[in-house]
Amino acid sequence: MNELLKQVRLLDPTSQTDRIADVLITDGIVTAVEDAIADYPSNATIYEGSGLILAPGLVDLYSHSGEPGFEERETLKSLMQAAAAGGFTRIAILPDTAPALDHLASIAWLHDQANLQSIVSVPLVQPWAALTQEVKGQQLTELAELATADIAGFADGKPLQNLMMVRRLLEYLQPLGKPIMLWACDRELTGNGVMREGSDSIQIGLPGIPAIAETAALSALLECIEATGTPVHLMRISTARGVELIRKAKERGLPITASTSWMHLLLNTQMIASYDSNLRLDPPLGTPADQTALIDAVHQGVIDAIAIDHRPYTYEEKTVPFAEAPPGAIGLELALPLLWHRFVESGLWTAIKLWSVLSTRPAICLQQKPPEIAIGQPAEMLLFDPQHFWLAKSHSLKSSASNTPWLDQDIQGQVIKTWRY
């Protein structure tokens, strides 16, 4: 099979490429990248690429699968279809399924199910292996045994409250050489809060979660990391103070990377005045000051990557008062166009910067070779039309869930095709 993309805008953070070019794909391999390709197979499928962007596939650090256990929310098939529709060629699944991904059999089952769905343009699925049994934070899993499986690394996707356990985990996992991901959150300080504490929570009348619920736990985690020297990825950073702690830790040479969710860059507590339950997240949306600090941190590289943290729920689960709704929202199909419109079209970030934090840097955080568009390499890329408008309706989303604050809104920008060979 031959495919020729003519006069596309070619983006690639690995080679720092941003140019207009023709690209030829032969049997899933990039065989030519030139200003103009005149000699190509007569049977090639031709894409007229003027105004379109061809770039490496996106990499999601962490999202949730409904299957197994909560198929009414989302199946693995619909999750993969949503990821492909959003331009993601690799997704890492958190282990909080039912049963949890805490032993070899459950991980093997997930791989088998993903392989049943695998066709060209469907992403590679890798599970995070659970740190603790049933992701309850009480007893360790068989870490050495799990390390032999095809996993993204080790994470619970839930905060660990026992610091002695955290220290032991970091000591045990260090020689295994797998990525480790932790979430800094003190559940006692969270209390019954449902949004970030501050003037907005007072005016809106919802119980607040203080910023120190993140920063107190983050300070303790950083101490454990410094004591053990074990590399860790810090997920779901959501506060300005959290950004500052990470900045200083990196300046001290601690072996850390960090990510924030895409919605924390686009929204803040002021939007919760609508009481839209799809804005209830965990960690909660930050204040405008938090949002600004996160945007700056991503731009400066203090925050290494943007994660989607796609979390599906049914209509019935989310159609309740804000404080009673389970936290989380979907995002695999929406993140790229909304981030592009907010940061690239506004001139705040370059296109290369956005692609770096959605593709190259997440792969590096996972200790993987980043996707790139280079001659001789398998095609792992997407074609994106930044000007195309589409309506985000439940029937137009590939995800079987529709819990997003952008439901029924016009979205500018859409992925036309995703390749992964």
Burial of 245 (0-12, 13-18, 19+ CB in 10 A): buried
Burial of 252 (0-12, 13-18, 19+ CB in 10 A): exposed
Nearest C-alpha neighbor of 352 from the set 373, 330, 378 = 373
SS3 at position 360: helix
How many other CB atoms are there within 10 angstroms of residue 48's CB atom?
11
Q: Where is 76: in which H helix or E strand?
A: helix 76-85
Nearest C-alpha neighbor of 416 from the set 12, 85, 88 = 85
- Phi then psi for residue 200, to 5 deg, are -70, -40
| Distance of alpha carbon 83 from alpha carbon 77, whole angstroms | 10
Active site residue: 12, 18, 309, 385, which one?
309
| Distance of alpha carbon 120 from alpha carbon 419, whole angstroms | 6
- Phi then psi for residue 274, to 5 deg, are -75, -15
| Distance of alpha carbon 22 from alpha carbon 66, whole angstroms | 40
Amino acid present at 248: K
How many other CB atoms are there within 10 angstroms of residue 234's CB atom?
25
Q: Quick check: 334 and 323 in contact, CB under 8 A? A: no
Long-range contacts of 338-341 (CB under 8 A, 24+ apart): 338/262, 338/266, 338/406, 338/411, 338/413, 339/262, 339/265, 339/266, 339/306, 340/384, 340/386, 340/413, 341/386, 341/412, 341/413
Q: Buried (b) or exposed (e) across 72-102, using 16+ Cβ within 10 A?
A: ebbbbbbbbbbbbbbbbbbbbbbbbbeebbb
| Distance of alpha carbon 207 from alpha carbon 127, whole angstroms | 34
18 is catalytic: no
The residues that are catalytic are: 309
